[in-house]
Structure 1
Amino acid sequence: MIEIERKFLVTSEAFKTESHKHTRIIQGFLNTNPERTVRVRIKGDKGFLTVKGKSTNDGLSRFEWEKDISKQDAEALLKLCEKGVIDKVRYEVKMGEHVFEVDVFHEENEGLTVAEVELNHEDDIFKKPNWLGEEVTGDKRYYNSQLSQHPFKNWS
Structure 2
Amino acid sequence: MSETGYGDFEFERRFYVEELPEVVMDDPTPTLIVQNYFLAQDGYAIRVRLQAPGVRLHMTGAEDIDALLEEHAGTFDFCAITVKGPMNGGTRYEAERELDITQGLNMLQRGTNRVIKNRYSVWLGSDGWVIDVFGGSNFPLLVAEVERGGPVTDLEIPSFCVSEVTEDKRFSNESLSHAPFARWADQYGVELGGVGPVFLDSLGTNVFHD
Structure-1-length-normalised TM-score: 0.89
Query: Distance between the aligned counterparts of 2:39 and 2:113, measured in 1?
Result: 12
Q: Is 1:145 the equivalent of 2:174?
A: yes
Sequence identity of aligned pairs in percent? 31
- Contact residue 20 and residue 92 of structure 1 kept, 8 A: no
Q: Which range moved further: 99-108 or 72-81?
A: 72-81
Residue 72 of structure 2 corresponds to residue 72 of structure 1: no
Match of 2:39 in 1: 31
Q: 3-state DSSP class of the match of 1:137? A: coil
Instruction: Give the alignment's TM-score, normalised by structure 2.
Output: 0.67
Q: Is 1:114 aligned with 2:121?
A: no
Greater CA drift, 97-106 or 137-146: 97-106
Q: Partners in 2 of 1:70 and 1:97 — Cα distance?
A: 34
Q: Which residue of the partner structure matches residue 51 of structure 1?
A: 83
* Unaligned stretches of 5+ residues in structure 2: 1-7, 53-75, 188-210
1:124: how far off? Answer: 2.6
Give the 3 Å change call, closer, same or farther, for CA 21–94 of structure 1 in structure 2.
farther
C-alpha offsets along residues 39-91 of structure 1, whole Å, 9 cap, x if unaligned?
A: 000011211111101222x3x1111011111221111222453x321010000
Letter in 2 for 1:120: G
- Partner of 2:151, secondary structure, is coil
Which contiguous aligned blocks of 4+ residues in structure 1 show a shift greater than 4 angstroms? none
Q: Which structure ranks higher in relative contact order (CA pairs < 8 Å, sequence separation ≥ 6)?
A: 1
Q: Distance in 2 between matches of 1:24 and 1:133?
A: 24
| C-alpha distance in 2 between matches for 1:35 and 1:110 | 23
Give the number of the structure whose residues are more often strand, by fraction.
1
Q: Which amino acid aligns with 1:113?
A: L
Distance in 2 (CA, whole Å) between partners of 1:51 and 1:97 is 29
Greater CA deviation, 92-101 or 107-116? 92-101
Partner of 2:50: 42
**In structure 2, C-alpha distance between the alignment counterparts of 1:47 and 1:97, rounded to whole Å:** 29
Q: Is the 8 A contact 2:30 2:119 kept in 1?
A: yes
- How many residue pairs get matched? 153
Structure-to-structure mapping, 1:58-137, within 5 angstroms: 58=89, 60-81=90-111, 83-137=112-166
- The alpha-carbon deviation at position 101 of structure 1 amounts to 1.2
Preserved CA contact (<8 Å) 2:45 2:84: yes
Q: Which runs of 5+ in 1 are unaligned?
A: none
Contact 1:101–1:116, Cα closer than 8 Å, also in 2: yes
Aligned mates of 2:28, 2:91 — CA distance in 1: 26
